[in-house]
Structure 1
């Protein structure tokens, strides 16, 4: 029974002297991060082409059981509608080619489509899935509300993913929209994060969850409890989920992940905890 927990980044100023000591060079933080978490979202590949040598350095910095979840380039997803199909295909194949040497440490690669991609884009989205050439998992995140209608469009979407053994990315932004934006981080999160229904449906063997926590940690208890039950169910079905935990400022994201893992353990006696955070700065300094 395995759950891969990770963050949307492997370094944060607030994690210094907690996840890694001040003296640790920035370039080595991914290695220390990978001693605590077993996966990470890599958003840099969404914004720009990352040099192959840099990808290899990341790959060699982590243990063999670590899993990267790279985001597909925005030229493939967010500019899907405006660009010629041949150009989209070319960028998609080039991206897959860049990931081929990394396959031993790949988790679900993410195709993340913006709200502008409505139900008319579904066939194109599935065509991109059909082109996937790697042996590792693929996942799809959609943000247009048509894909959450619990009727024809969503059924076609889920069926199409299931037939292709592609995972649906389940976005849970309910916590950050549960209160008024009373602080800067909530204002920013409510501007940037999609407000979509949370439909926790697994369409393949590696479901992906993106949980956006509230900065007031006790407010997350209800949703963490729901996710613990769902993750426990998925484990009993033989699935291997990847859970990426965010918070509005990401400072407390590691804490939320640890709380979630503890709840899963309490519901699933045969499950061994996946996540153990450093208990103190003193312990970190001894690593």
Structure 2
């Protein structure tokens, strides 16, 4: 039974002297991060072409059991509707080639589609999934509300992913939208994070969860309790979940991940966690 926990980044100014010492060079922080967490969501590949040598440096900085979850380039997903299909295909295959040397440390690669991609793009999404050539898992996140109708469109979407052994990415942004935006981090999160229904359906063996926590940590308990039950269910079904925990400013994200994992442990006596946060005076002063 294994749950991969990770953040949306491997370094944050507020994590200095907690997850890693201030004396540790920035280039080495990924190695220290990987001693605590077992995966990371890498968004840099969404925004730009990351140099192959840089990808290899990241790969060599972490242990064999660590898993990177890279996001597909925006030229494949967010610019899908405005570009010729052969160019989209070319960028998708080039991205796969760049990841090929990293396969032994890859978790579910993410195809993240924007809200403008409605049900009319479903067959194109499936076509991209069908082109996947790597042996490692693939996952898909959609943000158009048509895919959350609990009816024909969502059923076609889920069935298509299941037939292709592709994982659904489940976005849970309920916590950050549960109150008015009373601080800068909530204002920013409510502008940037999608407000979509949370449908925790697994379509393959490596379901992906993206949990966006509220900065008032106790408010998250109700949703963490729900996720602990769902994660235990998936574990008992033989699945291996990947859970990426965010918070509105990401400062408290490691703490939320630890709290969720403790809830899983309480529900599942056969589960043995590998997530242990370091303890320091600096950590206590963050909140």
Q: Tell me, which stretches of 5 or more residues in structure 2 are unaligned?
A: none
Alpha-carbon distance between aligned partners in 1 of 2:282 and 2:16, rounded to the nearest angstrom: 12
SS for the counterpart of 2:134 is coil
Q: CA deviation at 1:19?
A: 0.2
SS state at 1:64 partner: coil
Aligned to 1:166: 166
- The structural deviation recorded for 1:167 is 0.1
Structure 2 residue 133 is the aligned partner of structure 1 residue 133: yes
8 Å CA contact 1:234–1:240 kept in 2: the answer is: yes
Q: Does 1:192 align with 2:184?
A: no
Gaps of 5+ in 1: none
The aligned residue for residue 280 of structure 1 is 280
CA distance in 2 between counterparts of 1:80 and 1:267 reads 42
**Superposed displacement of residue 274, structure 1:** 2.4
> How far, CA to CA, are the matches of 1:29 and 1:89 in structure 2?
34
What is the root-mean-square deviation in Å for CA atoms of aligned residues? 0.9
Per-residue CA deviation, residues 252-275 of structure 1 (Å, 9 max, x unaligned), is 000000000000000000000121
Q: 1:69-148 alignment to 2 at 5 Å? A: 69-148=69-148
Q: Equivalents in 1 of 2:51, 2:275: separation in Å?
A: 31
CA-CA distance at 1:280 after TM superposition: 1.3
Q: Which residue of 1 aligns with 2:229?
A: 229
Report if the CA contact (8 A) 1:175-1:212 is conserved. yes
Q: What is the Cα deviation at residue 282 of structure 1?
A: 8.4
- Summarize the alignment of residues 20-31 of structure 1 with structure 2, pairs less than 5 Å apart: 20-31=20-31
In structure 1, the residue corresponding to 2:81 is in which secondary structure? coil
CA contact (8 A) 1:261 1:274 kept: no
1:131/1:13 Cα in 2 relative to 1: closer, same or farther (>3 Å)? same
- Cα-to-partner distance string for 1:123-180 (whole Å, 9 max, x where unaligned): 0000000000000000000000000000010000000000000000000000000000
Match of 1:217 in 2: 217
SS of residue in 1 equivalent to 2:278: coil
Instruction: Give the secondary structure class of the aligned counterpart of 2:68.
Output: strand
Q: Which residue of 2 aligns with 1:150?
A: 150
**The residue matched to 1:81 in structure 2 has which SS?**
helix
Instruction: Quote the Cα distance in structure 2 between the aligned partners of 1:5 and 1:108.
Output: 13
Which residue of structure 1 lines up, in the alignment, with residue 47 of structure 2? 47
**Counterpart Cα distance in 1 of 2:125 and 2:275:** 34
Would you identify which runs of 4 or more consecutive aligned residues in structure 1 move more than 4 Å? none
Rounded to whole Å, the distance in 1 between the matches of 2:183 and 2:23 is 32
- Aligned-partner Cα distance in 1 for 2:118–2:13: 37
* TM alignment of 1:198-277, pairs within 5 A: 198-277=198-277
Q: TM-score, normalised by structure 2?
A: 0.98
Offset at 1:47? 0.2
Matched residue SS, 2:80 = coil
Distance in 2 between residues matched to 1:49 and 1:174, nearest whole Å? 32
Measured in 2, the distance between the counterparts of 1:30 and 1:281 equals: 22
Cα distance in 1, alignment partners of residues 3 and 179 from structure 2: 29
